[in-house]
Amino acid sequence: MSHIDGIVSAQRAFFNAGKTRDVDFRIRQLGILRRALKENEKQILDALYADLGKSDYEAYMTEVGIVLEDIRYYLKKIRRWARPRRVRTPYYHLPASSWIYPEPYGVALIIAPWNYPFQLAVAPLVAAVSAGNCAVIKPSEFSVSTSQVLADLARRYFDPAFIGVVTGDVAVSKALLAEKFDKIFFTGSPGVGRIVMGAAARHLTPVTLELGGKSPCIVEKDADIPLSAKRIASGKFINAGQTCIAPDYLLVQRSVRDSLVDEIQGHIRKFFGENPAESKVYPRIINKNHLERLSGLVEGATLICGGDHDPETLYFAPTLVEGTDLSHPIMQEEIFGPILPVLTYDTITEVIDMVNSRPKPLALYLFTGDAGKAKAVMNKTAFGGGCVNDTLIHFATPHLPFGGVGNSGMGSYHGKFGFDTFTHYKGIMKNTFHVDLPFRYPPFFKYINLLKKVLR
């Protein structure tokens, strides 16, 4: 595809011209991005409504607002982060000095999914631009309206040789992956993550993979059950469950199972009314295929509530189902929709063993009033990140790294971690001509005793 080849070579020329190495340039571009988002906020919110039925409030909170806040934070920090930093030097190298130079990778490819189609394309872009890269964004072909808006904004506000948006399906994505990029940032499923990493390997391009998985949500009997239920219901049903870090399934201590389930149902009614299909704030499923996949998952399952759906309006009710055998598809594949299986357990050791026997999840949530227990669970389980006594909020801070591990991904971003993800740190030692110690030059043998004193 020649337009892809063209955009990548134009970006390479732009990068090589050195403009993006100038921090003032980056700051100006972030300012333009912020202006683009503010001037076109309505267009963006409308597109998110068209794609996923997100209310303006939810779309602003989870997509536009979070990115604006990101830009504000990067603008505050970028000068400090981009400066070469002096570090210590071992005495045997003195009087040399040691420096770390942050260096942009070059031309970055950002591949985004459809569930937060704006935020998951633009937040990595903010990090890439801050670090001094050019970037090509490939949004998802399923979030058609948002992808169009992204392409339109890029065209109107940026030089395509600096920031370009290439829309299209898997074929376009594959054509992009055939090109040589200097960094690939992929958000999507673990299956496609493997394909991306394989393609990157051909060019030895470093990758960050932000993948998904089945994130457990554990509730101990000593938790504040009403508040836990409220936070679980909000974390699960925001974006109609199409959130990579949504609680995928519940593990609840047997004695509090009934009260937790009652409370969650109560909160579903409070949030979305008696009939969520009529709610103005309950989003829709992205498309018919996904709706059918979700209805397949609940087939044969024992419903606690919900389950109703409509392929015409893409509505799928907030749904609780009884826990099933772990081999059932609902406990095997990432649900990625508003269905929450409820499993019970007796001891926390059982839970730790179960979590550790499965692929490492992107998130883990634990609700407990016992700080010691929380510490033990955090120490004994492996996962990307998560919360104690809450859901999702670990995502919305620049001070924590966000990313998966193992099957849920590699690398991280947000705040400084995002800047680091798009930066190569060059280690430089600066020597002088004033001193020249003899023991590093051949023939070495007469300095062996001295050397053994120094390197011991």
Catalytic choice (63, 134, 220, 244): 244
Residue placing its CB nearer to ligand NAD in the complex, 182 or 210: 210
Q: Is 102 a residue that touches ligand NAD (CB under 6 A)?
A: no
Residue placing its CB nearer to ligand NAD in the complex, 195 or 352: 195
- Per DSSP, the three-state class of 249 is strand
CB of residue 237 to ligand NAD, shortest distance in Å: 16
Looking at residue 359, what DSSP letter applies? P
Residue 305, both tokens: 């509530």
Residue 244 is a catalytic residue? yes
Looking at residue 107, what DSSP letter applies? E
Mask of contacts with ligand NAD, 387-426, x by CB under 6 A? -----------------x----x-----------------
Segment lying near ligand NAD (by CB under 6 A), choices 13-21, 151-159, 209-217, 424-432: 209-217
Residue 334 is a catalytic residue? no
Segment lying near ligand NAD (by CB under 6 A), choices 171-179, 224-232, 255-263, 304-312: 171-179
Mask of contacts with ligand NAD, 311-330, x by CB under 6 A? --------------------
Segment lying near ligand NAD (by CB under 6 A), choices 74-82, 105-113, 121-129, 152-160: 105-113
User: Which one among 102, 113, 241, 307 touches ligand NAD, defined by CB under 6 A?
Assistant: 113
Q: Is 173 a residue that touches ligand NAD (CB under 6 A)?
A: yes
CB of residue 64 to ligand NAD, shortest distance in Å: 17
SS3 content of the chain, % helix, strand, coil (to 5): 50, 20, 35
Rounded to the nearest 10 degrees, how much is the dihedral formed by the CA atoms of 26, 27, 29, 31? Answer: 160
The DSSP bridge partners found for residue 109 are 136, 184
Cβ(156)–Cβ(142) below 8 Å: no
CA-closest candidate to residue 346, choices 253, 220, 222, 221: 253
Q: Is 8 a residue that touches ligand NAD (CB under 6 A)?
A: no
Residue placing its CB nearer to ligand NAD in the complex, 58 or 210: 210
The DSSP bridge partners found for residue 343 are 251
- Measured CA to CA, the distance from residue 407 to residue 415 in angstroms comes to 23
What angle do helix axes 23-39 and 41-52 make, rounded to 10 degrees? 70
**Backbone phi, then psi, for 282, in 5-degree steps?**
-100, 115
The DSSP bridge partners found for residue 200 are none
CB of residue 214 to ligand NAD, shortest distance in Å: 9
Residue placing its CB nearer to ligand NAD in the complex, 282 or 336: 336
Size of the site for ligand NAD (CB under 6 A): 27
Catalytic choice (63, 179, 210, 334): 210
- By beta carbon distance, the residue nearest ligand NAD is 212
Segment lying near ligand NAD (by CB under 6 A), choices 89-97, 114-122, 151-159, 292-300: 114-122
Report the relative pairing of strands 385-388 and 363-367 from DSSP bridges. parallel
Residue-wise DSSP of 360-426? PPSEEEEE-S-HHHHHHHHHH---SEEEESSSSGGGS-TTS-B---GGGEE--BSHHHHHHHTEEEE
- Measured CA to CA, the distance from residue 444 to residue 235 in angstroms comes to 65
Report the relative pairing of strands 315-316 and 309-310 from DSSP bridges. antiparallel
User: How would you label 272-289 residue by residue, b for 16+ Cβ within 10 Å and e otherwise?
Assistant: beeebeebebbbbbbbee
Q: Is 334 a residue that touches ligand NAD (CB under 6 A)?
A: yes
Q: Is 138 a residue that touches ligand NAD (CB under 6 A)?
A: yes
Residue placing its CB nearer to ligand NAD in the complex, 318 or 384: 384
- Measured CA to CA, the distance from residue 207 to residue 201 in angstroms comes to 9
Mask of contacts with ligand NAD, 179-198, x by CB under 6 A? --------xxx--x--x---
Q: Is 1 a residue that touches ligand NAD (CB under 6 A)?
A: no
Mask of contacts with ligand NAD, 219-248, x by CB under 6 A? -------------------------x----
Q: Is 114 a residue that touches ligand NAD (CB under 6 A)?
A: yes
Sign of CA dihedral 146, 147, 153, 158: positive
Q: Is 362 a residue that touches ligand NAD (CB under 6 A)?
A: yes
Residue placing its CB nearer to ligand NAD in the complex, 263 or 334: 334
What residue ranges bind ligand NAD (CB under 6 A)?
A: 111-115, 120, 138, 140-141, 170, 173-174, 177, 187-189, 192, 195, 210-212, 244, 334, 336, 362, 404, 409
Report, as residue numbers or ranges, the catalytic residues: 210, 244
